[in-house]
Amino acid sequence: MAIKVILVDDESGIRKLLRKIIERKDDFNIVGETDNLNDAITLFTKTKAEVIFLDIEMNGTNGLDCAKIIADMDPKAKIIFATAHSEYRSEAFEVYAFDYLVKPFQVERVNQTLDRIKSLSQEDKIDSLEKIVKFERGLDKLLLKGKESMSFVDIKEIILVQRENSSTVIYTKNDSFTTSAGLGDIENKLDPDQFLRSHKSYLINISQIKKIEPYGRWTYVVTFKDLAKDALMTQEKFEEIKKRFL
């Protein structure tokens, strides 16, 4: 299945150039484009695009806020800033941008990014909303309370906690639990020696890590022993993990 792409840029010439480059790639499909940030979120929600080429300054507005919203909706969405403003680079990677292209960019530079996305894609080949209300320390459980139910999650069985569709999902080997609580709320209730905030949108059980591999230029992907899902890890947290096991 082709990788879905949207283009967000107020310069029609840039969108046209990107379209020509991307359309030469068999594994990519442009599913929409817009010239303003107000429509970008709507377009992303509608198309569920996996790759977003996003300008930063458009008609007097800043694309970083748009990127933060998209990253919260889908942490694995690959946001590629294509901008004439190199000074935003550090801020862009604070929202875990996949790449940062400075205009005028070379065709080969865009192709390198697309090829990296393609290789990563080839490698990959609920219940009602609940809120966390309590941590029973003696029982080593989290209590999740829904409108008409309560779920008790064994902490030792938690493998991954991640932001997903603007909610937080707790994954165990055989189950998943959705909560309106933030990652920070859950992180504060877990043992920092066992659980690591590997990324803004992921909290992982260190004992369950199977492999850590490069993902973006400054990001890694984590796979687990007992869960057919993965998580992202920043360069900073990758270095922290290495020190723990030295």
User: Which domains does the chain show, CATH number per domain?
Assistant: 3-124 (3.40.50.2300), 131-244 (2.40.50.1020)
Higher pLDDT, 38 or 240: 240
Per DSSP, the residues of the chain read -PEEEEEE-S-HHHHHHHHHHHHT-TTEEEEEEESSHHHHHHHHHHHT-SEEEE-SEETTEEHHHHHHHHHHH-TT-EEEEEES-GGGHHHHHHTT-SEEEESSPPHHHHHHHHHHHHHHHHHH--PSPBEEEEEETTTTEEEEE-SS-EEEEEGGGEEEEEEETTEEEEEESS-EEEESS-HHHHHTTS-TTTEEEEETTEEEEGGGEEEEEE-SSSEEEEEESS-S-EEEEEHHHHHHHHHHT-
Q: Kindly state the average pLDDT of the residues 84-90.
A: 69
Nearest Cα to Cα of residue 74 among 165, 169, 186:
165
pLDDT digits (tens, 9 = 90+) for 188-231: 888 888 999 999 899 999 999 999 998 877 889 999 999 999 99
Percent of the chain with pLDDT over 70: 85
Q: Which two tokens stand for residue 14?
A: 């840039």
- DSSP letter, residue 130: B
The rounded mean pLDDT for the chain is 84
The whole-angstrom separation of Cα 25 and Cα 111 is 9
Q: Give pLDDT, residue 123.
A: 54
Average pLDDT over residues 103-119: 88
Q: Which pair of structure tokens corresponds to residue 142?
A: 């989290």
Per-residue confidence (pLDDT) for residue 122, from 0 to 100: 61
pLDDT tens profile 121-153: 765 544 444 544 444 444 588 877 766 677 888
Tens-place pLDDT, residues 146-167: 666 778 888 889 999 999 877 8
Q: Say if residue 87's pLDDT is above 80.
A: no
d(CA 87, CA 70): 21
* The model's pTM: 0.56
